[in-house]
């Protein structure tokens, strides 16, 4: 998957921005604004989301492969 852009709803984006701001405040005792939280979110979506997506695809492939092997085992 090359340069897949992940789209999220405005509501979900706002929720994630608030989560990032809360994280920085609770874990780092640092208040950040919406712009900084947006930048952090964009970074994670650009750099990490594709890795997690690909791992999910690989997990699904392995699961389906196992189920197909199970199905083939019942052949007479």
Quote the pLDDT of residue 2. 53
Q: Total domain count for the chain?
A: 1
Which range marks the domain in which residue 60 is found?
10-73
Q: Is 58 exposed, middle or buried (0-12, 13-18, 19+ CB in 10 A)?
A: exposed
Rg of the chain over Cα atoms, rounded to whole angstroms, equals 19
Tell me if 4 is assigned to some domain. Answer: no
Q: Would you say residue 1 has pLDDT above 50?
A: no
Distance separating alpha carbons of residues 34 and 14, to the nearest angstrom: 9
pLDDT tens sequence across 17-76? 999 999 999 999 999 999 999 999 999 999 998 899 999 999 999 999 999 988 888 876
**pTM attached to this predicted model:** 0.69
Distance separating alpha carbons of residues 47 and 24, to the nearest angstrom: 19
Tell me if 35 is assigned to some domain. Answer: yes
């Amino acid at each position: 998957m090359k340069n897949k852009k992940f789209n999220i709803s405005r509501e979900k984006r706002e929720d994630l921005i608030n989560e990032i701001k809360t994280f920085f405040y609770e874990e780092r005792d640092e208040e950040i604004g919406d712009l900084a939280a947006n930048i952090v979110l964009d970074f994670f979506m650009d750099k990490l989301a594709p890795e997690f997506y690909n791992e999910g695809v690989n997990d699904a492939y392995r699961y389906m492969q196992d189920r197909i092997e199970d199905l083939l085992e019942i052949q007479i």
